[in-house]
Structure 1
Amino acid sequence: MTDEAVRTDESTHPVREGHTPQISLKKWQIIGPGLVVAGTGVGAADLVATLTAGSRYGYALLWAVVVGVVMKIVLVEGAGRYSLATGRTIFEGWRSLGRWTTWYFAPYIMLWGLIYGASAMTSAALPIVTLFPGVNLELTAAATGVVAFLMVWFGRYRTFEKIVSALVLLMMVTVVGISTLALPNLGEIARGLIPMVPDGSTIYVLGLAGGVGGTITLAAYGYWLREKGWASAGWMKVMRLDNTIAYVVTGIFVVAVMIMGVELLYSAQLAISSGDNGLIDLSEILRDRYGDVVGTLFLVGFWAASFSSIVGVWNGVSLMFADFVGNLKKLPRDHPDLHTGGKYFKWYVLWLTFPPMLLFLLEQPTGLVIAYGALGALFMPFLALTLLGILNGSRTPEEWRNGWVSNVLMGICTLLFVALGVNQFVNAFS
């Protein structure tokens, strides 16, 4: 196909390759893959981490949330820029750096999928079990996984994007709406934007800046761009707008969660449980203070955040796995098995859904949890370092390589993720 050939993207608008699409802020179709990656990345663990930080330090660490949003914009923009500028996937970029990337990624994606599948299904089931006492947690978790499996197995990208966008809207409306009831102190919020690190808060700073908003799903952005039909450098401006808006929305959501942590927990000197049960504790506090309706709405937002992560991972990481297998088998990029609904895509959806259910029978699968924590701690440094590698030099067209600003920001991201990764690695074995 020549550069003058016309193709049609998923929004049914003819687009010439190499031509810059016109951006219309009145058309919601320009916001899609970014909202998917942002909505997928924010799960129950992020909510608990933000609530805990707010309950311990008030608004003092709010600036770290803003830093985290900027970092995610930088990293996801880098992944999207590489895909649009080169026409290659992120895994192709990794492989160009050497075989070591494959040796890391292969065990990571298999082990990560097994443990994440079990924890994500349980997380999404917890608010349902809380709303309907007497319902079995493990059976509800398994049913949640099967529902996500069917939606991803039989759906296509356009349907998937609409589902995740609706879930993001639901969690935004519920959580942000509830945070306004807490009557946040605007003066304290403004002071929280001034960087400070209270005693004992270093790990919370690292967690808020580096951990909120996704890990492996950040690398899936390029695949969602491809599925959307944004496949050339002509879409660069649209991609950047999509990515920025999506993470600003994520930032607003996380700030709303911190407001609840400060106004409901910090001011009253209340503590919540660790893990997902902390969100159940918060729902009870909301129920006591504002009534059953508000407590129930928070559980709905909790469920939307958890289920959007499941559906997003089931789709996005399955696309990454399909690309991984396709590269090893040297399949062409347009091979149907490498896209949504393809053979290798479906194989990994199965892996995410059914083998993890066996872990429900084990209260503490210690060996797997340790290995998962160790590998997971290394992924974000891996992503930041490899983006620096592929976005500098001949692997990327000169026009779209990193400038000094991008390199400085990605360098800071790398250092932060290395520090956070070392802490998580140590904790995995302690």
Structure 2
Amino acid sequence: MTTSEPNAVLKRRWSLIGPGIVVAATGVGAGDLVATLIAGSRFGYALLWAAIIGTVLKIALAEAVGRWTLASERTIFDGWSSLGRGLLPGAIGGRLNWAGLYFGLYVVIWGFVYGAAAMTATALPLAALFPVLDLKVWGMLSGIAGLSFVWFGGYGVFEKVMTACVGVMFVTVVGLAVIVTPDLPAMMTGLWPSLPQGSVFYTLGLIGGVGGTITMAAYGYWLNAKGWKGPGWMSVMRLDNRVAYVVTGVFVVAMLIVGAELLHAAGIALQGGERGLLDLDQVLRERFGRPISILFLVGFWATSFSSLLGVWQGVSLMFADFTAHVRGRAGEEAVCGDRSRAFRGFALWLTFPPMALLFMDRPFGLIVAYGVLGSLFMPFLAGTLLWLLNSDRVPREWRSHGLSNTLLAAGGLLFAVLAGKELAGLF
């Protein structure tokens, strides 16, 4: 397949779908599934509409990232680097504008906290399935497995493994929704927007929280790694993105069904965070038996490990691009930097320093820090995409217009409100 003649393969474009599946699989983590479960357990089907709106917003945001990448034939960090002059004197400081400085500080701090969170989430189902090893040991082994995979494997193998994880997630999550027998008439009532008492901020979190944070910006890097370059791939990218986030929407709706049918009626409450899925495992074991419980834990692992693997690969690519810009060598490592020292250095940063946090048993402060850090990137991404895609940095035919601008602005406002709520929670 050549990248110079995309129109020759449009008829079989369904077979080309891949980067969107990768970004969706990375974005939907165990914590997102728990948030959706808790929404179903507390409010039944009343917030189904919010989950659907959230899926639409993420489709618009990922499409904007892909459109920038293909229309400008530049990375998202190239775009951020064009938003103002360098803030500091000197060879390095002169290349870092406000956007680059924000990203650089953010990604280092976020990576440290996320590394511990991802390793813990992946270890939880493994420790439940194979209790011969401690949770911390499973966490460290999971981090090393992710590091080894991105260190030695290329994008093609990475995409295949991520797609396989999505397949396992789909069978597990949708299978559970079928097993608990959804009440279809009641589910239809959830399509009409409503706000049960005490659900306002929870609704905003459900809309804005499922389907990715910083990894959405990595979509453009995965498009480049796939070989999709130039506006001729726009149609394929849009199909890829929509299919991926429709699958994400199915995950969300399925987990809402499980929460509404299995937990809401029985008044069962789950813990917050990934440990809530272990509560669900116990409920499934008592209700349906050990085989269903095991199947669910395998799906739990696939969800967590795909998020870990996607961050180790995608965010390391973004860091390699950041480093290339700082060194004044933009373009050399930016597109396919998975063999660069910066890529491997950041993958090491995600893996080994955060292991120290595993021995803190994830205290409340770590959980709060992860929530706050996760909320601070999306307003930045939505706002900068609005700026870039309404400027002459992209050809006129690919600039944003009415619907795209409305969705990006709505998403940016929503994410800013959620970030404000998380910051207020610190005090």
- Please tell me the TM-score bracket, short chain as reference: over 0.9
> In the alignment, which residue of structure 2 is the partner of 1:22?
9
**Paired residue total:** 415
Amino acid at match of 1:318: S
Shift of 1:15: 3.8
1:66 paired with 2:52, answer yes
Distance in 1 (CA, whole Å) between partners of 2:13 and 2:236 is 13
Match for 1:48 among 29, 34, 38?
A: 34
Shift of 1:104: 1.1
Q: Is the Cα contact below 8 Å between 1:21 and 1:235 reproduced in 2?
A: no
Match for 1:361 among 341, 359, 363?
A: 359
1:415 paired with 2:401, answer no
Match for 1:223 among 221, 224, 241?
A: 221
Shift of 1:376: 2.9
Shift of 1:280: 0.5
Structure 1 residue matching 2:38: 3-state secondary structure? helix
Q: Is the Cα contact below 8 Å between 1:57 and 1:266 reproduced in 2?
A: yes
> In the alignment, which residue of structure 2 is the partner of 1:212?
210
Shift of 1:106: 1.1
Shift of 1:291: 0.8
Q: Is the Cα contact below 8 Å between 2:169 and 2:302 reproduced in 1?
A: yes
- RMSD after superposition: 1.7
- 1:125-149: per-residue Cα shift (whole Å, max 9, x none)? 0011111234201011001111111
Amino acid at match of 1:55: S
Distance in 1 (CA, whole Å) between partners of 2:123 and 2:110 is 20
> In the alignment, which residue of structure 1 is the partner of 2:241?
243
Match for 1:57 among 32, 36, 43?
A: 43
> In the alignment, which residue of structure 1 is the partner of 2:65?
79
Distance in 2 (CA, whole Å) between partners of 1:308 and 1:15 is 27
Distance 1:254 1:364, change over 3 A: closer
1:324 paired with 2:312, answer no
Q: Is the Cα contact below 8 Å between 2:45 and 2:187 reproduced in 1?
A: yes
Structure 1 residue matching 2:7: 3-state secondary structure? coil
Distance 1:337 1:73, change over 3 A: closer
Q: Is the Cα contact below 8 Å between 1:82 and 1:90 reproduced in 2?
A: yes
Structure 2 residue matching 1:24: 3-state secondary structure? helix
Distance 1:289 1:370, change over 3 A: closer
Distance in 2 (CA, whole Å) between partners of 1:25 and 1:288 is 46
Q: Is the Cα contact below 8 Å between 1:337 and 1:344 reproduced in 2?
A: no
> In the alignment, which residue of structure 2 is the partner of 1:298?
296
Structure 2 residue matching 1:20: 3-state secondary structure? helix
Shift of 1:160: 0.3
1:252 paired with 2:250, answer yes
Q: Is the Cα contact below 8 Å between 1:283 and 1:295 reproduced in 2?
A: yes
Distance 1:21 1:316, change over 3 A: farther
- 1:264-297: per-residue Cα shift (whole Å, max 9, x none)? 1001111111222210010111111111100111
Deviates more, 1:364-373 or 1:376-385: 364-373
Unpaired runs of 5+ in structure 1?
1-12
Distance 1:253 1:367, change over 3 A: closer
Shift of 1:234: 0.5
Match for 1:310 among 305, 308, 311?
A: 308
- TM-score, scaled to structure 1: 0.93
Structure 1 residue matching 2:125: 3-state secondary structure? helix
> In the alignment, which residue of structure 2 is the partner of 1:114?
112
Amino acid at match of 1:321: F
> In the alignment, which residue of structure 1 is the partner of 2:83?
97
Distance 1:88 1:422, change over 3 A: same
> In the alignment, which residue of structure 2 is the partner of 1:403?
401
Q: Is the Cα contact below 8 Å between 2:224 and 2:335 reproduced in 1?
A: no
Q: Percent identity, please.
A: 52
Distance 1:244 1:281, change over 3 A: same
- 1:395-424: per-residue Cα shift (whole Å, max 9, x none)? 111110001111111111111111111111
Amino acid at match of 2:422: Q
Shift of 1:204: 1.5
Distance in 1 (CA, whole Å) between partners of 2:337 and 2:34 is 34
1:190 paired with 2:188, answer yes
Q: Is the Cα contact below 8 Å between 1:129 and 1:136 reproduced in 2?
A: yes
1:203 paired with 2:201, answer yes
Distance in 1 (CA, whole Å) between partners of 2:363 and 2:188 is 44
> In the alignment, which residue of structure 2 is the partner of 1:3?
none
Distance in 2 (CA, whole Å) between partners of 1:267 and 1:403 is 45
Distance 1:142 1:261, change over 3 A: same
Q: Is the Cα contact below 8 Å between 1:326 and 1:338 reproduced in 2?
A: no
Q: Is the Cα contact below 8 Å between 2:337 and 2:343 reproduced in 1?
A: yes
Distance 1:122 1:387, change over 3 A: same
Q: Is the Cα contact below 8 Å between 1:120 and 1:306 reproduced in 2?
A: yes
Distance in 2 (CA, whole Å) between partners of 1:193 and 1:376 is 28
> In the alignment, which residue of structure 2 is the partner of 1:128?
126
Structure 2 residue matching 1:16: 3-state secondary structure? coil
- TM-score, scaled to structure 2: 0.94
Shift of 1:337: 8.8
Distance 1:187 1:371, change over 3 A: closer
Structure 1 residue matching 2:192: 3-state secondary structure? coil
> In the alignment, which residue of structure 2 is the partner of 1:33?
19
Shift of 1:21: 4.5
- 1:336-366: per-residue Cα shift (whole Å, max 9, x none)? 8952222211111111111111112224567
Distance in 1 (CA, whole Å) between partners of 2:393 and 2:123 is 44
Q: Is the Cα contact below 8 Å between 2:41 and 2:260 reproduced in 1?
A: yes
Distance in 2 (CA, whole Å) between partners of 1:420 and 1:238 is 32
Distance in 2 (CA, whole Å) between partners of 1:31 and 1:279 is 30
Shift of 1:369: 5.8
Matches for 1:254-273 after TM superposition, within 5 Å: 254-273=252-271
Shift of 1:370: 5.5
Distance in 1 (CA, whole Å) between partners of 2:335 and 2:346 is 12
